[in-house]
């Protein structure tokens, strides 16, 4: 009977390369020889469970991916994936709701690692209704009653890309970020490449490299939208849970949008209910 080779060696090699770390640097960080790193990545050696956990921690692998690679190595998973509605995560859910509410009337939303929209505040619901009137489910707030994926909203024929006035400035930066995330979340890869095709059609340039664009003069990248209320401009920050030990918590982030000019601030103060 032929033995099916484990995908672990290739998975570890791809993860290391995605993090732009050499075998030599990884060996220093783990305190093992480069030869052992090479043997594991070639399938000639199998790491112990303890070494594999350290390996994945060093490469900052998402918790879900760590579980997957532990299984590939024949070990038990190390992390739970508790439903967000479970009593054990009640305090975390309350914290998310407080973060959203405190940011009103500026938009804020909760996303998971695959860019599924978990919840949003009044400011984000108003912005969604303004930019995407064909998606009324986005007005529900926290939690979202129907599954909505932000990448789907980008690549929809009437989606967010059409509303971005400076897509030539931010499009390729967003695409670079998404491709880095896709190295750890392969499920989003098809949507990322669909966005790449859309951006290529909109702004041209090299599909993979994004051309020779100069960096923005602004300290923070600003997204500008064209709306019936006039131009709106935002920069953003992200909030995540510190040192999460659960896959669900580790996958969540709160995206906060801040007005980049006084006109945007005044428009939201006037119109967000």
Give the tens place of pLDDT for each residue, 233-255: 999 999 999 888 999 999 999 99
- Which tokens sit at 271? 């119109």
pTM score > 0.75 for this model? yes
pLDDT bucket at 209, cuts 50 / 70 / 90: very low
Measured from the Cβ of residue 1, the count of other Cβ atoms closer than 10 Å reads 3
The verdict on domain 87-271 having CATH code 3.30.450 is yes
Percent of the chain with pLDDT over 90: 69
Angle separating helix axes 34-42 and 8-18, nearest 10 degrees = 120
Is 170:178 a contact under the CB 8 Å cutoff? no
Q: Where are the domains of the chain?
A: 8-72, 87-271
Q: Which CATH number fits domain 8-72: 3.40.50.300, 2.80.10.50, 1.10.260.40, 3.40.190.10?
A: 1.10.260.40
Question: What b/e string do you get for 47-81 counting C-beta neighbours within 10 Å, with b at 16 or more?
Answer: beeebbbbbbeebebbbbbbbbbbebbebeeebee
Pairwise CA distance, residues 128 & 144, whole Å: 13
Query: Is the distance from CB of 158 to CB of 132 less than 8 angstroms?
Result: yes
Average pLDDT, the chain: 88
143: preceding bond cis by omega (within 30 degrees): yes
202, two tokens: 């909109």
Confidence of residue 81 (pLDDT cuts 50, 70, 90): very high
Query: CA–CA distance from 208 to each of 18, 114, 185, 196, 201 (Å)?
Result: 15, 21, 19, 8, 13
Residue 217: its pLDDT value, please?
Answer: 53
Neighbours of 169 (CB within 10 A): 19
pLDDT at 104: 96
């Amino acid at each position: 009977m032929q033995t099916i080779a484990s995908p672990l060696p290739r998975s570890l090699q791809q993860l290391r390369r995605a993090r732009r770390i050499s075998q030599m640097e990884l060996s220093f960080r783990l305190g093992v020889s480069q030869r052992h790193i090479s043997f594991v990545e070639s399938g000639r050696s199998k790491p112990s469970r303890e070494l594999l956990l350290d390996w994945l921690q060093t490469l900052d692998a998402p918790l879900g991916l760590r579980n997957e690679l532990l299984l590939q190595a024949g070990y038990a998973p190390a992390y739970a994936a508790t439903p967000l509605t479970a009593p054990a995560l009640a305090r975390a859910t309350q914290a998310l709701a407080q973060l959203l509410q405190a940011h009103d009337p500026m938009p804020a939303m909760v996303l998971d690692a695959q860019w599924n929209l978990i919840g949003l505040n009044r400011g984000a619901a108003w912005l969604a209704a303004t930019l995407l009137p064909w998606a009324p489910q986005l007005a529900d707030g926290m939690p979202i009653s129907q599954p909505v994926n932000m990448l789907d909203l980008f690549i929809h024929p009437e989606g967010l890309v059409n509303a971005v006035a400076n897509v030539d400035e931010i499009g390729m930066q967003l695409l670079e970020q998404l491709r880095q995330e896709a190295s750890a979340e392969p499920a989003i890869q098809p949507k990322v490449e669909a966005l790449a095709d859309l951006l290529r059609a909109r702004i041209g340039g090299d599909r993979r490299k994004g051309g020779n664009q100069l960096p923005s003069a602004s300290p923070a990248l600003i997204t500008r939208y064209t709306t019936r209320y006039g131009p709106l401009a935002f920069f953003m920050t992200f909030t995540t849970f510190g040192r999460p030990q659960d896959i669900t918590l580790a996958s969540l982030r709160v995206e906060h949008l801040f007005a980049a000019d006084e006109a945007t601030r005044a428009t939201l103060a006037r119109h967000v209910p």
